[in-house]
């Protein structure tokens, strides 16, 4: 078996065995071209047959592993472990993260067996775009955010990116941080995104604050998603945060997994 960079001719073979990955299908067809264009999309090949795939996304300070798939008849043969090892040989140093649904026990066992641990638990919620009244507004500065940004990452199109002061500054310039002020104090914050790969989906990739404040952030998201012509809204919140609102549907729990390679930053 060999692992190599994906070629255009591999696409149809991969889509053949991953089209039914989840009950609703899979997203690989939507992201294949983008991933391939960035040069870190890999396939595993055995006897001329493509039997697995995965992608690496690199950021300034870390790497993200995603989209690992194995042809059904080649599962439970160690292929996942080999692809994980290959990925680490490409990344070499720094922080590596990935996300796994909490009920996906085989994948959790696999990544734990090669040294990954749960960094945080994130809950997915969903709602729909619609016109709503909201007091939340686009933040113009980072004032009042220190106590509310209680995570080292945030979700951006199903990737958890490092959330430091530099990233917060970038998000502020992009008008992607939304806050609510109560009694002259910032009481809630949210970070939104809209992916080029999934333009029909609007996401809140982080939210925290008072119950009322977070509800106002979600109402802002409903308005913004409607304005952008999105069809669905996904909201990610740390499981330790109590996000409750009658118009939210509580969905799956996900484990954000992390490993440090080489003891150095990328």
Is domain 2-120+256-261 in CATH 3.40.630.30, yes or no? yes
Are 2-120+256-261 and 124-255 equal in CATH topology? yes
The residue ranges of DSSP E strands in the chain, in sequence order, are 2-5, 41-46, 49-58, 62-70, 94-101, 117-127, 137-138, 153-155, 160-162, 177-182, 185-194, 201-209, 232-238, 249-261
Q: What's the mean pLDDT when you consider all of the chain?
A: 94
Task: Please write the tens of the pLDDT for every residue from 71-100.
Answer: 999 999 999 999 999 999 999 999 999 999
Task: Please write the tens of the pLDDT for every residue from 8-48.
Answer: 999 999 999 998 887 778 999 999 999 999 999 999 999 99
Lowest mean pLDDT among 3-7, 59-63, 206-210, 258-262: 59-63
Q: 59: how many CB neighbours lie within 10 A of its CB?
A: 15
Q: 166: how many CB neighbours lie within 10 A of its CB?
A: 11
Section 121-133 average pLDDT? 96
Task: Please write the tens of the pLDDT for every residue from 145-159.
Answer: 999 999 999 999 999
Give the Cα separation of 229 and 232 in Å (integer): 9
Give the Cα separation of 142 and 165 in Å (integer): 9
Section 170-192 average pLDDT? 96
Q: 173: how many CB neighbours lie within 10 A of its CB?
A: 9
Q: In CATH, what number does 124-255 get?
A: 3.40.630.30
**What are 137's two structure tokens?**
């507004």
Task: Please write the tens of the pLDDT for every residue from 242-265.
Answer: 887 778 999 999 999 999 998 544
- SS3 call for 166: helix
pLDDT computed for residue 265 by the predictor: 42
Give the Cα separation of 11 and 13 in Å (integer): 5
**Model confidence at 266: pLDDT above 70:** no
Q: 34: how many CB neighbours lie within 10 A of its CB?
A: 14
Kindly list the domain boundaries of the chain, sorted by start residue. Answer: 2-120+256-261, 124-255
Of all residues in the chain, what percent carry a pLDDT higher than 90? 88
pLDDT computed for residue 25 by the predictor: 83
Give the Cα separation of 232 and 201 in Å (integer): 5
pTM of this prediction? 0.93
Encode 126-155: b = buried (16+ Cβ within 10 Å), e = exposed. ebebeeeebebeebeebeebeebbebebbb
pLDDT computed for residue 247 by the predictor: 82
- Residue 222 carries which DSSP code? H
- Taking alpha carbons only, the member of 213, 122, 211, 205 closest to residue 163 is 205
pLDDT computed for residue 160 by the predictor: 96
């Amino acid at each position: 078996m060999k692992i190599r960079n994906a070629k255009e001719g591999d696409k149809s073979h991969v889509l053949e065995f991953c089209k039914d990955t989840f009950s609703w299908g899979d997203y690989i067809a939507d992201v294949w071209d983008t991933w391939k264009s960035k040069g870190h999309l890999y396939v595993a090949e055995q006897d001329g047959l493509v039997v697995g795939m995965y992608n690496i996304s690199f950021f300034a300070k870390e790497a993200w592993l995603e989209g690992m798939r194995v042809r059904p008849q080649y599962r439970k043969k160690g292929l996942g472990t080999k692809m994980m090892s290959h990925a680490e040989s490409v990344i070499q140093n720094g922080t590596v993260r990935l996300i796994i649904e909490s009920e996906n026990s085989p994948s959790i066992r696999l990544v734990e067996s090669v040294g990954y641990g749960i960094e945080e638990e994130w809950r997915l919620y969903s709602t729909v775009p619609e016109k709503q009244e909201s007091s939340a507004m686009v933040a113009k500065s980072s004032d009042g955010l220190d106590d509310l940004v209680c995570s080292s990452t945030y979700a951006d199109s199903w990737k958890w990116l490092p959330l430091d002061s530099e990233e917060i500054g970038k998000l502020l310039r992009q008008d992607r941080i939304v806050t609510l002020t109560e009694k002259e104090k910032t009481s809630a914050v949210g970070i939104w995104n809209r992916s080029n790969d999934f333009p029909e989906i609007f996401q809140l990739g982080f939210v925290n604050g008072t119950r009322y404040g977070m509800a106002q952030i979600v109402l802002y998201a409903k308005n913004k998603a409607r304005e952008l012509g999105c069809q669905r809204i996904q909201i990610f919140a740390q499981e330790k945060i109590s996000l409750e609102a009658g118009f939210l549907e509580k969905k799956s729990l996900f484990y954000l997994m992390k490993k440090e390679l080489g003891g150095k930053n990328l």
